[in-house]
Structure 1
Amino acid sequence: MRIAVTGSIATDHLMTFPGSFTDQLLADRLDRVSLSFLADRLEIRRGGVAANISFGLGLLGLRPVLAGAVGGDFEPYRVWLKQHGVDTDSVLVSQEHHTARFVCTTDRMQNQIATFYAGAMTQARHIDLADVIERVGRLGLVMVSPDDPEAMLRHTRTCRRLGIPFAADPSQQLARLDKDAVLDLVDGARWLFTNEYEAALLRERTGLTTAGVLRLVGTWVTTHGAAGVRIQSADGEVTAVPAVETAGVVDPTGVGDAFRAGFLAGMAWGVSRTCAAQLGCVVAATVLDYVGTQEYRLYRDSLVARIRGTYGAGCVAHLVTHLRELT
């Protein structure tokens, strides 16, 4: 099954300030703040939800089609993604804007001051999935992840019009979408992905109960961090899969994207949703061992050992066949 992933493609600039931001703030001068912090470390990381999910799918051998908008500075990032199995030929390159950028400074108390520059992402609304299909052929699934809101809505409408199964992952954009837009985005989705907080926000935005949301979508997948994942369907079927225990968390950034990659890979292979969720949880746990969202690697023996060690041997036989190409 060929999967297209639409959504954000970005570069993260992560800096560390050894002091405390609050020590520099004057209570009687907060109406006119003008501060500069001397950072002692800078890490530049590849990011963006769609790129992160595509990277994980590429590592698992699915060769996903990435569809998002970037600037003329994207070329080195394109090479990286292609090297890791991602089809980037449907990425729109803006001649006017830079690739989206997340700039964040963290102090020693883990307080953060951040700015997100959408940049070329605002041009994603001009991407037509019909052109993607003309180039690569019929798609088995379109993953609609956080992006320019107009682009997200255009993609879901195109999927409904062309009869293409799609997954909705509104994520960070829920805060910007009104009731009608949220309903338009999720209506008819085969899969709806949220974390626990986003699930509550989605119900608040739409005014629907869980049962009401499930009448609009095929299956609702909700991640609960260390508590694992819960999968619900309108027919009442509920699947709960615990998370993989980790000795220590190096960096939690991108863990949700990694879960989605593993889960979607499992569904593309035709395994049960329990087995797909187990694979998703193991890939997510792997990301926790690395700094950055695309620095991890997947090794067959390590994945199988973690699946067996956490969940038993039940899904191993169903998954190992599809993991044979991994070293």
Structure 2
Amino acid sequence: MHTLICGSIAYDTIMVFKDHFKNHILPEKIHILNVAFLVPDMRREFGGCSGNIAYNLQMIGGKPLIMATVGDDYQPYASRLQDLQLAQNHVRQVNGTFTAQAFITTDLADNQITAFHPGAMNFSHQNHVADAKDVNLGIVAPDGRDGMMQHAREFHEAGIPFVFDPGQGLPMFTGEELLDFVHKADYVAVNDYEGQLLCERTGRSLEALAKSVKGLIVTWGAEGSVIYANGQQVEVPSVKPEKLVDPTGCGDAYRAGLLYGITHDMDWRSTGQLGSLLGALKISQRGGQNHRFTRDEIDQRYFEIFGSRIL
């Protein structure tokens, strides 16, 4: 059986401005802002929530299926997925569009100016959950608004349990729509900021929202994560990484651990620990898909830290 990962495929173009934005932006002229930054360093990373989650889930022995929409510029990503032996059966190319992409300029103080183009992501509703076979778990990750709503409905109607992971797409939805997602989902995963926004939009506390699902997971970065399940709160500490390089994609790595734990009937503490370990392994490399470990290496690291083996 497979885990169906509905979400974005994207390119991340990251540029480094070797100065500080504040030295080139005049506060009194902010209303007529017109600036240009020389960025001698630039790199392009493979990203998107669906791509990142699938990459990590396969690395630990899961069976991911990517469901996403891409544009005319998809070929480099297609070649990468082929090399990784990640199936592309449910990656739909939308003619006349670009693959979703973020253009990120970072200064020496790690301030960022980001422009995001959704492109083909806006057509994610052209994919249907029913097109994927042998699926026993799914996730609705950040994607086009219509696609996220449709895929949640289709998972629910098909009786396939799924994780609602709104991510940066959360502001697109009203409180009523978010409650509908929660009621349809079996699990909800958010970071601390998203969790607070979810509460504000819905008018419900995390404890109240958790009563509607089997598990509500809130990640806190370096402070670990909290899992609300069965009327209890399971606090999971973060795993100390070998080095801090780039947090991009750490949340997606954690979610891969979450999906693996659910499909293998791991208890919540062990599931959260696996997610934390994957996030720590990822943060030591730039981009969302440049860390590489074998299943045995991950299992050994898990054993060294937690004293048990991954199921």
Q: TM-score range by the shorter chain?
A: over 0.9
- Corresponding residue for 1:20? 20
User: In the alignment, residue 89 of structure 2 is paired with which amino acid?
Assistant: D
Deviation at 1:60, TM superposition (A): 2.0
> Partner of 2:168 in structure 1?
172
What is the aligned partner in structure 2 of residue 91 from structure 1?
91
Q: Is residue 153–residue 184 contact of structure 1 (8 Å, CA) maintained in 2?
A: no
Q: Is the 8 A contact 2:60 2:295 kept in 1?
A: no
Q: Using a 3 Å threshold, how does the CA distance of structure 1 residues 85 and 57 change in structure 2: closer, same or farther?
A: farther
**Does the 8 A contact of 1:230 with 1:239 survive in 2?**
yes
Aligned residues, how many? 311
- Structure 1 stretches of 4+ with a deviation exceeding 6 A read none
Q: Equivalent residue for 2:154?
A: 158
Equivalent-residue separation in structure 1 for 2:166 and 2:253 (angstroms) = 16
Aligned position for 1:291: 286
User: Structure 1 CA distance, aligned partners of 2:261 and 2:112?
Assistant: 36
Name the CA distance, whole Å, in 2 between partners of 1:230 and 1:211.
Answer: 11
Residues 230-273 of structure 1 show CA distances to partners (whole Å, capped at 9, x for unaligned) of 1112x313222211112420111111100111221122223222
Secondary structure of 2:255 counterpart: helix
The answer on whether the counterparts of 1:11 and 1:102 sit within 8 Å (CA) in structure 2 is yes
Gaps of 5+ in 1: 323-327
Q: Determine if contact 2:242/2:284 at 8 Å carries over to the other structure.
A: no
Determine whether 1:190 maps to 2:186.
Answer: yes
Tell me the SS of whatever aligns to 2:189.
strand
- Aligned to 1:187, what secondary structure does the other structure show? helix
Greater mean deviation of Cα atoms: 217-226 or 41-50: 217-226
Among candidates 265, 273, 279, match of residue 270 of structure 1: 265
Give, as a single letter, the amino acid of the residue that structure 2 aligns with 1:214. A
Show CA shifts across 1:267-313 (max 9, x none): 222322222222211111100111110001123454234323322x2
TM-score w.r.t. structure 1 length? 0.91
Partner of residue 211, structure 2: 215
Asked if 1:309 corresponds to 2:299, the answer is no
2:277 to 277, 282, 289: 282
Give me the whole-angstrom Cα distance separating, in 2, the residues matched to 1:276 and 1:82: 29
Residue 127 of structure 1 pairs with residue 127 of structure 2 = yes
How far is 1:167 from its partner? Answer: 0.7
Aligned to 2:102: 102
Long gaps (5+) in structure 2? none
Q: Distance in 1 between matches of 2:142 and 2:167?
A: 6
- Give, as a single letter, the amino acid of the residue that structure 2 aligns with 1:182: L
User: Which shows bigger deviation, 250-259 or 19-28?
Assistant: 19-28
Evaluate the alpha carbon distance shift between residue 102 and residue 91 of structure 1 in structure 2; reply closer, same or farther with a 3 A threshold.
same
Does the Cα contact within 8 Å between 1:259 and 1:284 map onto a contact in 2? Answer: yes
Structure 2 CA distance, aligned partners of 1:59 and 1:246?
A: 18
CA distance in 1, matches of 2:304, 2:59: 22
Question: Does the 8 Å contact 2:60/2:298 carry over to 1?
Answer: no
Matches within 5 A, 1:194-273: 194-233=190-229, 235-273=230-268
In structure 1, distance between residues paired with 2:237 and 2:300:
16
Partner SS state of residue 32, structure 2 = coil
Amino acid at match of 2:158: L
Cα pair distance change 1:87/1:268, threshold 3 Å: same
> How far apart are residue 83 of structure 1 and its match?
2.5
Partner of residue 7, structure 1: 7
- State whether residues 211 and 231 of structure 2, in contact with CA within 8 Å, keep that contact through their aligned partners in structure 1: no
Counterpart for residue 325 of structure 1: none
CA distance in 1, matches of 2:72, 2:61: 28
Retained in 1: the 8 A contact 2:59–2:295? no
